[in-house]
């Protein structure tokens, strides 16, 4: 029997099929048969649901130790593999040769440690303790960098790195320098002006360059030795710290035995006497290659760590308080 078409909407093929099926069902099954069929359909559906439930992975039962673990400490497992490894390490014997008492002792210690770690997490040590944070951050960096070390650099890559960072491969220069100061209005002449002090310094420089003894010139012109107490050779970076940028710049231009021109600074007029000078020298590639190799690999590690952080930042939501910047 055809179902009269009453809808004004277009009839789809699916709706046409269902309309053909309903009369067929009513012909196939009597009302009594349909009364049986419905519970059966329900049973099949129930079986299907039960089957899916049975074969679906159930949540882990944490009231007993899962396979592969030797203990469960507050739901946190102690791996069998770690236990075997730890037992062998502590007893210095193969695991198979360890006694039950030794194994029990090691397991006791591992459970203690797990409890302490859990307590540390409860105390929020990763957020509050700098040492823990540093260790965690270093561990993440190490994991990010591990793949970068797998490929050895080529000779060309090392040379390119050396050429790009040549300044890193300089040997440190050394100097032994006297820093003499003529304080303006010093103890010898309270009315001295800067111009007068400068003129005295010029004369002192002249005498020093002419070979006069440093001690004589110091005494005659009232110069004070402002060098560090120990009169020894200093690496360039140390000399820079002691002299300050301006005097250090002048000092690096002096050779052994040379005397600088007077240099006016806030505390007086300085004269530098370079007693011994060994300038910095750039190491050539063959001599520096071991260091270049190490530096290159460290640079790869740093690059991996930066890329990892870039990724983490791209995934993170970072909010800064008003007025803050990073």
Partner 1 sequence: MARGAGSRWRLLAGLALPLLLAAALAGWALQARWHRDALARALLRTYPQDIDANPALVRFADEEAKPLFARNCAVCHGAQMQGNPLIGAPALVGGHWLWGNGSVFQIERILLYGIRSGQPQALNVTEMPAFGLMGRLTAGQVHELVQYLMKLNHRPYDAETANAGQTLFYSQLYGCYDCHGTDARGEADYGAPNLTANYWNNGGSEQDIYDSIFYGRHRVMPAWQGRLSLEQIRALAVYLHGLSHGSAQGSVQGSAERG
CB of 197 to partner 1, least distance (A): 54
Rounded to 5 degrees, what angle do the CA atoms 181, 253, 172 make?
Answer: 105
CB of 91 to partner 1, least distance (A): 15
Q: Which is nearer to partner 1, 68 or 322 (CB)?
A: 68
Q: Is residue 158 at the binding interface for partner 1, with CB under 8 A as the rule?
A: yes
C-alpha span between 305 and 143 (Å, rounded): 9
- Nearest alpha-carbon partner for 108 in 89, 86, 123: 86
Per CB under 8 A, the list member of 25, 43, 117, 123 interacting with partner 1 is 43
Backbone angles phi, psi at 268, to 5 degrees: 140, -165
Question: Radius of gyration over alpha carbons of the chain, in Å?
Answer: 42
Whether the CB-CB separation of 224 and 183 falls below 8 Å is answered with yes
Span interacting with partner 1, options 190-198, 223-231, 253-261, 289-297, rule CB under 8 A: 289-297
Q: Is residue 110 at the binding interface for partner 1, with CB under 8 A as the rule?
A: no
Per CB under 8 A, the list member of 51, 244, 257, 279 interacting with partner 1 is 51
Q: Which helix (H) or strand (E) element contains residue 174?
A: strand 174-182
Which of 208-223 are b and which e, b meaning 16 or more Cβ less than 10 Å from the residue's Cβ? beeeeebeebbeebbb
Q: Which x/- pattern over 115-154 shows residues binding partner 1 (rule: CB under 8 A)?
A: ------------------------x--xxxxxx-xxxxxx
DSSP letter at 261? P
Q: Which is nearer to partner 1, 33 or 193 (CB)?
A: 33
Q: What residues line the site for partner 1 (CB under 8 A)?
A: 29-30, 32-33, 36-37, 40, 43-44, 47, 51, 54-55, 66-68, 79-82, 84-85, 95-96, 139, 142-147, 149-155, 158, 286-287, 289-290, 293
């Amino acid at each position: 029997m055809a179902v009269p078409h009453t809808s004004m909407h277009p009839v789809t093929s699916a709706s046409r099929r269902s309309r053909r099926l309903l009369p067929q069902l009513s012909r196939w099954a009597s009302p009594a048969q349909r009364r049986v069929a419905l519970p059966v359909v329900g049973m099949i559906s129930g079986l299907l649901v039960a089957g899916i439930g049975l074969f679906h992975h159930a949540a882990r039962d944490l009231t007993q130790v899962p396979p592969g673990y030797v203990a469960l400490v507050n739901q946190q497992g102690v791996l069998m593999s770690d236990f075997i490894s730890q037992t062998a390490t502590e007893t210095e014997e193969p695991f198979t040769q360890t006694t039950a008492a030794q194994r029990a002792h090691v397991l006791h210690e591992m459970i203690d440690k797990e409890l302490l770690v859990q307590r540390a997490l409860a105390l929020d040590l990763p957020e509050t303790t700098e040492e823990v944070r540093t260790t965690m951050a270093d561990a993440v960096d190490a994991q990010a960098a591990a793949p970068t070390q797998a490929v050895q650099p080529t000779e060309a890559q090392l040379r390119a790195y050396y050429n790009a960072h040549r300044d890193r491969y300089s040997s440190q220069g050394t100097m032994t320098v006297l820093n003499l100061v003529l304080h303006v209005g010093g103890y010898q002449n309270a009315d001295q002006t800067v111009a007068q002090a400068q003129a005295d310094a010029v004369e002192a420089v002249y005498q020093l360059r002419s070979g006069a003894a440093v001690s004589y010139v110091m005494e005659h012109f009232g110069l004070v030795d402002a060098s560090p107490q120990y009169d020894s050779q200093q690496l360039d970076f140390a000399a820079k710290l002691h002299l300050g940028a301006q005097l250090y710049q002048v000092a690096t231009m002096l050779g052994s035995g040379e005397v600088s021109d007077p240099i006016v600074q806030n505390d007086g007029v300085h004269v530098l006497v370079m007693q011994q000078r060994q300038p910095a020298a750039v190491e050539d590639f063959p001599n520096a290659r071991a260091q270049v190799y190490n530096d290159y690999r460290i640079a790869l590690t740093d690059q991996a760590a930066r890329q990892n952080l870039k990724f983490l930042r791209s995934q993170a939501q970072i909010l800064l308080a008003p007025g803050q910047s990073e």
